[in-house]
Every structure is written in C-alpha cells, then in structure tokens.
Amino acid sequence: MYVLKFSGNAVADVKTIIPKPLKGPLKKVLLEAVAVDPIGCSHELHGDLSGYRSFTWQEYRIVYRVFNDLKAIAVVGVGLRSPQSAENIYRKLEMLARTGELAQGVLFSIRGFTKIAK
C-alpha cells in the first residue's frame, strides 16, 4: 500500500472543487484504489506532464506522481472531468511544470520520506 501526500495546489483544488459531502467518499476511493494499485487504476500523461498519472472518479480527475521506491504518491491536482475542465487542469499543471513549481510542490508533499531499505 502506498501513502498519499497532497501538494499545496492539490489541497487548494480539493477545498474549492470537491463538495464537502464528497470529500469522505473521495478519500475512501483514493485509499482503496489509488493507494493499492496507482498504475492499474489510472492512465499515464504525456508531454510536460510525463511521469504523472490521471485517475478519474465520478466527475473528477486526480493527477498524481508515483514514487515506487518510497511507496508514496504525490497528488498534485484535482479538476472536473469534462473536455473544457480537462484542458483547464492539465493546462494549469503544465504551466506549473514549466516553471518548476510542480516539482517543488511534489518535493514538499513527500518530504520526510526516505528510501525503504531492501
């Protein structure tokens, strides 16, 4: 099982996009699906977001990066699941990737983790 960590941007997205009654069910599905099999339940992104994955649940997209050696997942963004909204969440994250802010958010979200000894 992987540990889920949220970047500051992802926390802000959850607060503004996900209605309060859906936050509990979202947490549950993230723990039951993404934390168990982060690759199998999502699809890989390309271009500036290469290395990130997108998981869809109801009308939402959750974008994250998997760190297998740390058994950690850094959630970097949450957006609505519609053609226009997909462009918005991916465009926002691509812009953050180009400026280095996305990588910085990932680093802050997983800080404190160390490589698991084998």
Least confident of 3-12, 51-60, 79-88: 79-88
> pTM to 2 decimals?
0.83
Other C-beta atoms within 10 Å of 26: how many? 17
Report whether pLDDT(82) > 60. yes
Q: What would the two tokens of residue 87 be? A: 């462009």
Question: Please, is 109 exposed, middle or buried when counting C-beta atoms within 10 Å of its C-beta (0-12, 13-18, 19+)?
Answer: buried
Per residue in 87-113, pLDDT tens?
677 788 888 887 777 777 777 776 765
Residue keyed to tokens 């992802």 = 10
**Size (the chain), residues:** 118
Least confident of 5-14, 20-29, 104-113: 104-113
Dist CA 32 CA 27 (whole Å): 9
Higher pLDDT, 27 or 108: 27
Identify the structural domains of the chain with CATH numbers, from first to last.
3-110 (3.30.2310.20)
Beginning with the edge strand found earlier in the chain, give each strand of the sheet holding 3-6 in spatial order: 3-6, 72-80, 60-67, 52-57, 43-44
